[in-house]
Copies of this chain bind each other. A is one copy, B any other.
Amino acid sequence: MTDIDMIRAAARRLDGFARRTPLLSSPFLDRIAGRRVLIKPECLQHTGSFKYRGGRSAVSALDAATRAKGVLAYSSGNHAQGVALAAREYDIPSVIIMPMDAPQLKIANTRDLGAEVVLYDRAGGESREALGAALQAERGLTLIKPFDEPQVIAGQGTCGLEIAKDAAAMGIARAEVLVCCGGGGLTSGVALACEADAPGLTVRPVEPQGFNDVARSLTTGRIQRNAEVSGNLCDAILTPEPGQMTFPIMQRLCGPGLAVSEEECLTAMGLAFQRLKLVAEPGGAAALAAALFHGDQITGDTVICTISGGNVDAGIFARALATLLPPESPPR
Q: Which A residues lie at the B interface, using CB under 8 A?
A: 19-20, 22, 24, 27-28, 41, 43-44, 48, 109, 112-113, 270, 273-274, 276-280, 310, 314-315, 317-319, 321-322, 324-325, 329, 331-332
Residues of B within 8 Å of A27, CB to CB, are 112-113
Q: How far is the CB of A38 from chain B (nearest CB, A)?
A: 13
Q: How far is the CB of A77 from chain B (nearest CB, A)?
A: 15
Can you list 16 residue pairs at the A/B interface with Cβ under 8 Å? A19-B24, A27-B112, A28-B112, A43-B277, A44-B278, A270-B314, A273-B279, A273-B317, A277-B280, A278-B278, A314-B321, A315-B321, A315-B325, A315-B332, A318-B331, A318-B332
Of the candidates B22, B28, B109, B322, which one forms a contact with A314 in the assembled complex, judged by CB atoms under 8 Å apart? Answer: B322
In the assembly, what is the distance between CA of A277 and CA of B278, in Å? 6
Q: How far is the CB of A218 from chain B (nearest CB, A)?
A: 30
Q: How far is the CB of A29 from chain B (nearest CB, A)?
A: 12
Of the candidates B43, B276, B319, which one forms a contact with A332 in the assembled complex, judged by CB atoms under 8 Å apart? Answer: B319
Whether A331 contacts B310 by the Cβ 8 Å rule is: no
Whether A314 contacts B325 by the Cβ 8 Å rule is: yes
Q: Which residue of B lies closest to A48 (CB)?
A: B277
Whether A317 contacts B321 by the Cβ 8 Å rule is: yes
In the assembly, what is the distance between CA of A7 and CA of B253, in Å? 47
In the assembly, what is the distance between CA of A276 and CA of B46, in Å? 9
Of the candidates B274, B277, B322, B331, which one forms a contact with A44 in the assembled complex, judged by CB atoms under 8 Å apart? Answer: B277
Q: How far is the CB of A207 from chain B (nearest CB, A)?
A: 22
Residues of B within 8 Å of A276, CB to CB, are 44
Of the candidates B112, B310, B324, B331, which one forms a contact with A277 in the assembled complex, judged by CB atoms under 8 Å apart? Answer: B310
Residues of B within 8 Å of A28, CB to CB, are 109, 112
Which one of A48, A329, A332 has the greatest number of beta carbons of chain B within 10 Å? A332
In the assembly, what is the distance between CA of A274 and CA of B112, in Å? 14
Which one of A22, A113, A315, A329 has the greatest number of beta carbons of chain B within 10 Å? A315
Whether B24 contacts A314 by the Cβ 8 Å rule is: no
In the assembly, what is the distance between CA of A317 and CA of B273, in Å? 10
